[in-house]
Amino acid sequence: MSATVEVVDLVREYRMGDETVQALKGVSFAVQKSEYVAIVGPSGCGKSTLLNLVGVIDKPTSGQVSIAGERVDSLSDSRATEFRLRRIGFVFQRFYLMQALTARENVELPLAEAGLAGAERRDRALELLEYVGLRKRERHRPSQLSGGEQQRVAIARALANRPALLLADEPTGELDARTGAEMIALFERLNADGTTIVVVTHDEELARAARRVIHMRDGLIVGDERAR
Amino acid sequence: MIITLAFASLVRHRARTALAILGVAVSSAMLLDMVMLSSGMRESFRGLLLSQGFQLRIAPKGTLPFDTEATIRDADSLVALIRARPGVQAVSPVLGGQLHFPLGSGAVTAAALGVEPAVQGDYELVAGRNPTSANEIVANDALLRALGRTVGDTVRAAAGYDAQLRALSGERVLRVVGRVRFIYLALEQRAAALPIGTLRAMSGPELESRASVAMVRLRSGVDVERERAELERLLPRVTVISTTKALEQVDERLSYFRQLAVILGAVSLVVGFLLVTTLVTVSVNERIGEIAVMRAIGVRRWRIVAQIVLEAAAIMLVAAPLGLALGLVTARYLNSILARFPGLPERIDFFLFQPSAAWTALGLLAACGVLAGVYPSWRGASLPIATTMRQEAVG
Amino acid sequence: MIFRTILLLLVVALHASSAQEGATRVIALRGRPQGSPRSIAIDSRLAADAALRVGDRVVIAAAPGEPGDTVVVAGVVQRRADPAEIARGEYRIRLHLGQLQALLGYGDRVDRFAVGTRSPAATTDAVARINATAFGFRAHRSADVAVETSKTFAVVSRFHRAIGVITIVASAIFLLCIMLLKVDERRRDVAALRLMGISAPTIVRSVVLEASAIAVLGSLVGVGVGLTASWIVNRHYQGVYRTPLRFSLVTGDIVLLAVALSLVLGIAAGWVAAMRLVRTPPLALFGR
């Protein structure tokens, strides 16, 4: 069976005035189904850039990215959007919930976009909130939720359309140690339930919880170890 | 979901939303007023001309009705000729002049219309009756007030005033049989109407068989323009004007107001457009990170644009009735100013409310609002996702 | 009667021919020499439309088909900038009084006299004496006549003023709205400055300064636009109505009023917007 994620010789360059900055200098790796991978490295090593490319929210300068057997590195904007909606779930460091919507409505957002009808959408959203332990907070707006609760809503949103892949960029970055630990436990449960997860993190605890750790430095993979 | 987001976004910034609504309301009020002004006079004048059912007016060659003091010679034979035509239902000859009513040591002067009371179309009876004999007269309130007379009283009136002898000529005693409202005269203008034969006799031999204008009512189904052309061919010494032609003349003379309406209307549209564009641009700029996240989680670009445009549309929707009310109030005020034009018929309105005018104004503004919202929202939804999110995170 | 206005000119105009059918016509180039013809002056509109020039001979008659007088065009007269004449499309000729009286069969009659006096006091004296001794006609001061006949333009003037007031009110609302939006856009910058320790009055001053600069620039552009628009309006309507009348006049007072208003409104709008921002706690401005 093909890997869930396949990255071949990925290069990403940015122009900053007269200079060209190479954020990625030729990265290759693969992630299998139900793997839990952490990508670690110092600031500026290119790990977030790599995640963005895998998450189809950025385009590489050269190289290939395939997700669930489909090439995604040169999709049109509308196809890429559709792909992100149905095949990828993204969790961000700063949660990025819609402040104007309730917790349930935030989770419903990608479901509505996918065309789910009202009742079905609502039920699925409640199911997801139940899964992350926030069923009772469904009517609360983000400003009424703690950081940890907001991140759990963000995870529920990311799982809405049963994605092939869950990507998380510093998911514990804005959380205190206790809440961070709760988040790590949630990721472990998700992975145990079969979700393929790739996280980018500075958090050692979160990296330790992953089954595989990819080390990056200066736009290149310098290490790839299986933790347990 | 889009509606929820749009509504929530508007509620989040109440003061800004309220001001934007007010701004758009003012814009739509001005636009409505200008649409009303551009067509109001014309429609009001058309209504006035057709109020008594006369579709054609016959005036001395090269003139408009009552535009000069010129009169039509041999008007009686002309009227008889027109009446004989099968397509003609009625002809009302009118002779314009002045009557002087001695009062104390002076005299009250009023406009006088010599008419055939049975077919006249120049006044509406308010009280009393039409003149049925030669020495009867009807007058409007302004004249009756000035004379201190009422229906049933007699008055002395003279058609001429000889400056050399300081004497009135063509004097008669007339009985006031009716109180009327003159359709084509200003409210405050003193005026009277009497049988055309009486006015001619009072005015002297130079006005014998003369008329200032003849109004023609055609039978239903008759082609107005064809009849007009035919009459003009048959009667080369007069000008025959249809309502359409009269309106064209009015349009030409009052084109200033139409042009002003177009210019101010365009300015209102542009300002409304700018206001909505600015509002949407600021709204988008504030939420650029949010928009990038929505794109990241798979929300399509057009949906994001639709949400933002919906906000603009919501502002329009709320502002529209406010603008309508404001526009009507302002139009009434401006109309009251213009109604003071000397000699303007009472029934002429410069700002005439027609539902079509309201819809036109609203439609224009709505289209503008949507257009104004589309570009900035499309731009915002088209920014590179990763870069925008990074910038927003740092910012 | 609906479209009538009162003429002010001394010149015996075509409308003096009351009780005549149509108007006195000028017939071009049907000359009948009768000794030395008298001269007339025609207006520039007639000269242009009938292709008449100084020196041309024409016949003028009281009615179409009647015999008339052969005259020579001695001059072409430019219309005066009289608002009362704007919408009137008739042609005008000036001829010797006696000739017109004879032509119309008017006898020794005129419509009006114009009297020139040496001083205002002399005017008052003349009016009183004429009214006391004249046989049934009245003397009026030209200024009084002008007031009466300007009623139409007084109405137009009031209308314009009302439109102007409405425009100013509307502009004030638009300005406030846009200024609020623009200043609101900078909420994060303002929040960062406040967190750094920059005082609220300093921030308000800076925003108001910016608003003032925009108001000054905007006023200058506005004056430029107004002058250009005024020129275009005058060119257009002078062409349409074939008159030297100036329809739009931009005076120093008007410029001063417009600039003062826009400056005051712009600065006030900037101040209101700035005060709103500084009253909000900095962290709230960050959205936290």
- pLDDT tens for A54-80 read 999 889 999 999 998 899 988 988 888
Over its length of 288 residues, how does chain C's per-residue pLDDT go in tens digits?
A: 222 222 222 222 233 333 233 333 343 434 434 567 889 999 888 999 999 999 999 999 887 778 888 999 999 998 777 776 666 667 889 999 999 999 888 888 888 888 899 998 999 998 888 877 766 677 888 888 888 777 778 888 888 888 888 888 888 888 888 788 778 777 778 877 777 777 888 889 988 998 889 889 989 999 999 999 999 989 988 888 888 888 888 999 989 988 998 889 888 888 988 888 888 877 676 654
Closest to B276 measured CA to CA, from B376, B369, B366: B369
What is the distance in angstroms between the Cα of B334 and the nearest Cα belonging to chain C?
A: 7
| The token pair that represents C206 in the structure block | 């800076």
What is the torsion angle, in degrees rounded to the nearest 10, for the CA atoms of residue B343, residue B348, residue B351 and residue B356? Answer: -160
Tens digits of residue pLDDT in B315-365: 888 888 999 999 999 999 999 998 888 777 878 888 888 888 788 888 888
Using a CB-CB cut-off of 8 Å, the residues of chain B touching C155 are 337-338, 340-342
Average pLDDT, chain B: 87
Closest to B292 measured CA to CA, from A64, A72, A58: A58
Q: Name the least confident of B197-201, B272-276, C210-214.
A: B272-276
Nearest by CB to A101, which of B5, B385, B386?
Answer: B5
Using a CB-CB cut-off of 8 Å, the residues of chain B touching C1 are 66, 96, 111, 184-185, 343
| Helical ranges in A93-176 per DSSP H | 103-113, 118-131, 147-158
Closest to B99 measured CA to CA, from B150, B13, B170: B170
Nearest by CB to A84, which of B289, B296, B384?
Answer: B296
Going by pLDDT thresholds of 50, 70 and 90, the confidence category of residue A228 is low
Using a CB-CB cut-off of 8 Å, the residues of chain B touching A112 are 1
Q: Are C4 and B66 in contact (CB under 8 A)?
A: yes
Tens digits of residue pLDDT in B217-255: 999 999 999 999 999 899 988 999 998 888 887 777 777
Tens digits of residue pLDDT in C100-133: 999 888 888 888 888 899 998 999 998 888 877 7
Using a CB-CB cut-off of 8 Å, the residues of chain B touching C276 are 15
Q: Are B144 and B174 in contact (CB under 8 A)?
A: no
pLDDT at B365: 82
Residue B274 to residue C166: CA distance in whole angstroms: 19
CA closest to C156 among chain B residues: B338
State the DSSP string of C23-52: --EEEET-----SSPEEEEEEHHHHHHHT-
Tens digits of residue pLDDT in B158-168: 998 765 566 78
Return left, alpha or beta for B38; rule: phi > 0 is left, psi -120 to 50 is alpha, else beta: alpha
C-alpha dihedral sign at B382, B387, B389, B392: negative
| Residue B46: pLDDT over 70 | yes
CB contact under 8 A, A109 and B294: yes
CB contact under 8 A, B4 and A94: no
CB contact under 8 A, B26 and C174: yes
CB contact under 8 A, B279 and C22: no
Nearest by CB to B69, which of C18, C159, C185?
Answer: C18
CB contact under 8 A, A57 and B297: no
Using a CB-CB cut-off of 8 Å, the residues of chain A touching B393 are 93-94
SS3 C121: helix
Tell me if the pTM is above 0.90: no
CA closest to B394 among chain A residues: A94
Amino acid, res. B328: L
Nearest by CB to B1, which of A86, A109, A158?
Answer: A109
Residues 6+ apart with CB under 8 A from B172: B135, B156, B157, B158, B198, B202
Using a CB-CB cut-off of 8 Å, the residues of chain A touching B11 are 100
CB contact under 8 A, C152 and B278: no
| The token pair that represents A209 in the structure block | 């919880």
CB contact under 8 A, A105 and B4: yes
CA closest to B72 among chain C residues: C21
**Backbone phi and psi for residue A175, each to the nearest 5 degrees, phi listed first:** -110, 150
CA closest to A174 among chain B residues: B393
